[in-house]
């Protein structure tokens, strides 16, 4: 089985779709699903799951890093070098300064 990493925004959209389907079939929604939806709604940084996925793919293309790390960057949307480096260091990744700056320019357009 292949593991697929998704952004919080994508998870929110999937949960919303599932809850909508269940809402038509059932009168109440599972409490756990509801809490997961509330959490993903509160912490998602993108308006749609598609936007989160697009950012993840662009981060992977710019930096040539694995999907798991690109998803984390997309979810956290770092706004400066220190934030970006702290994400990368947790995965023991050290990217050149020019790549870091390209990522930041993409994540935080002026």
CATH number of the domain bearing residue 99 = 1.20.1250.40
Contact predicate 71/56, CB 8 Å: yes
CB 67: neighbour CB atoms within 10 A?
Answer: 15
pLDDT for residue 25 = 53
pLDDT for residue 40 = 93
Between CA 95 and CA 81 the distance in angstroms is: 11
| Percent residues over pLDDT 90 in the chain | 72
∠32-78-91 over CA atoms, to 5°? 75
**In this predicted model, what pLDDT tens digit does every residue of 47-99 receive, in sequence order?**
999 999 999 999 999 999 999 999 999 999 999 999 999 999 999 999 999 99
Q: Which residue range is the domain that position 60 belongs to?
A: 1-110
**In this predicted model, what pLDDT tens digit does every residue of 6-58 receive, in sequence order?**
999 999 999 888 888 766 555 566 778 888 889 999 999 899 999 999 999 99
Count of the separate structural domains present in the chain? 1
């Amino acid at each position: 089985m292949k593991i697929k990493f998704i952004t919080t925004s994508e998870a929110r959209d999937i949960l919303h779709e599932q809850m909508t389907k269940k809402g038509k079939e059932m009168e109440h929604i599972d409490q756990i699903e509801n809490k997961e939806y509330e959490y993903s709604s509160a912490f998602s940084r993108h308006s749609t799951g598609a936007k989160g996925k697009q950012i993840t793919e662009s981060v992977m293309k710019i930096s040539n890093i694995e999907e798991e790390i690109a998803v984390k960057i997309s979810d956290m949307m770092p706004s400066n070098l220190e934030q970006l480096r702290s994400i990368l260091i947790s995965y023991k990744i050290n990217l050149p300064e020019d790549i870091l700056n390209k990522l930041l320019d993409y994540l935080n357009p002026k």
